[in-house]
Structure 1
Amino acid sequence: MAVPRMFIVAGPPGGGKSSFFGLSGFADHVFNADDRAAELHGGSYEQIPTSVRAVVNREFEEFIHANIRGGTSFALETTLRSTITFEQARLAKENGFRVTMFYVALDSVERHIERVIRRAARGGHSASETTLRRIHASSLGNLPTALIPDRSGIDTVQVYDNSRSETPPRLVLEVRLGRAVRIADGFPAWLQEALGWTERDLERRKRELMQA
């Protein structure tokens, strides 16, 4: 019997999660909170009321727990602004799931904001600059925890840099069961800062990887 999978597509708004990591490519059972909120808001991503968000949050929780109970593979999208994703991943792990996260971000919060503004101009979902900055900081602040399986419940984390709009996202870090198995050359400064790695830390990890 195949091991059920939980796929998490994560990262701050405007990073390219939906564009490059469509949830339907991972599993038949998927949940995108922004899309569901817009659906309940007459198809519009703009000025979605908190009452609608509350309904979506309840549906999201029910979706996750139903799939875990049923042992069914599923995929979800999140900004990783809070640690609730880790609680969900640990629950899935305890119930026999293999958990994988794909984290996508850009080289600066300003670039994230610019892309969200462009998306909003095309009718996509948006938020205030203050909110975007807060989510960006929280998301990157939670990323280091994602790499620690005992705390996050996540088996494999792949981190992508999507700063270059003319090329696909670049896989810059892959961690399996808490151990780095890929560290790209030209390691992005934003990720090094988020992880709290010094230059010495980065070089040491690269040497360990080469010797493995």
Structure 2
Amino acid sequence: SVRRLRAAIADHTDYAFETTLGGQTVTGLLLAAAAAGHELVIWYCGLDSPERHLARVAARVAGGGHDIPEAKVRTRYETSRANLVRLMPHVTMLRVYDNSAEADPASGQRPAPELVLEIKGGTPSYPRSAVELATTPAWAKPLVARAFQWDAASPARTEA
């Protein structure tokens, strides 16, 4: 919860949580935490389209889970990645995964997220080669490009 995140920042304690990064509150708190000297470790899972998000929400609802309005899903698809870009210069470690591959855990299939970007200590460490870059899905290419732009601007990285 936001209350627990605020408390962890104030107390300088570790705190792990799940978020869509779709709003401004959590992003703002994470930026403030980084400015106060907290290390930010983010694992971000993205999908190739808002339609895939909507299909997964529909599957969750069919299984008795909660619904999310279509407009909110579509808005979050854009704002989530934009907020991740804002956080990139401040992360201690970032791992971005493509979670677009379909799997049905109920039938024994395991989801297989693919690593598409890794930043350690402010420096991109994946992709490292043209071959790895060539496999970057379209939705993640702007994130990878921004990571390498900041790396090229080191040590004076600034927010866009």
Would the TM-score normalized by the shorter structure come out above 0.5? yes
Alignment of 1:124-143 (within 5 A): 124-143=65-84
Aligned to 1:164: 101
Name the SS for the 1:107 alignment partner: coil
Alignment of 1:84-95 (within 5 A): 84-95=25-36
Does residue 139 of structure 2 align to residue 195 of structure 1?
no
- The Cα of 1:104 is off from its aligned counterpart by 0.4
Aligned to 1:182: 126
Alignment of 1:38-187 (within 5 A): 60-149=1-90, 154-166=91-103, 167-183=111-127, 184-185=132-133, 186-187=135-136
Gaps of 5+ in 1: 1-59, 206-212
- The Cα of 1:142 is off from its aligned counterpart by 2.1
Amino acid at match of 1:126: D
Aligned to 1:15: none
How many residues are matched? Answer: 137
Aligned to 2:155: none
- The Cα of 1:95 is off from its aligned counterpart by 4.2
Amino acid at match of 2:95: Q
Tell me how far apart the structure 1 counterparts of residues 94 and 144 of structure 2 sit (CA, whole Å): 17
Alpha-carbon RMSD across the aligned residues, in angstroms, is 2.5
Tell me the TM-score normalised to structure 2 length: 0.73
Amino acid at match of 1:195: L
- The Cα of 1:146 is off from its aligned counterpart by 2.2
* Residues 118-127 or 135-144, more deviating: 135-144
Tell me how far apart the structure 2 counterparts of residues 76 and 65 of structure 1 sit (CA, whole Å): 12
Alignment of 1:17-28 (within 5 A): none
Gaps of 5+ in 2: 104-110, 152-160
* Larger strand proportion of the pair: 1
Q: Which one has more relative contact order, counting CA pairs under 8 Å at least 6 apart?
A: 1
> Is the 2:31–2:87 Cα contact (8 Å) retained in structure 1?
no
Name the SS for the 2:97 alignment partner: strand
Name the SS for the 1:173 alignment partner: strand
1:1-39 CA-to-partner distances (Å, cap 9, x unmatched) read xxxxxxxxxxxxxxxxxxxxxxxxxxxxxxxxxxxxxxx
> Is the 2:94–2:119 Cα contact (8 Å) retained in structure 1?
yes
Tell me how far apart the structure 2 counterparts of residues 97 and 189 of structure 1 sit (CA, whole Å): 32
Alignment of 1:200-211 (within 5 A): none
Identity across aligned pairs (percent)?
A: 32
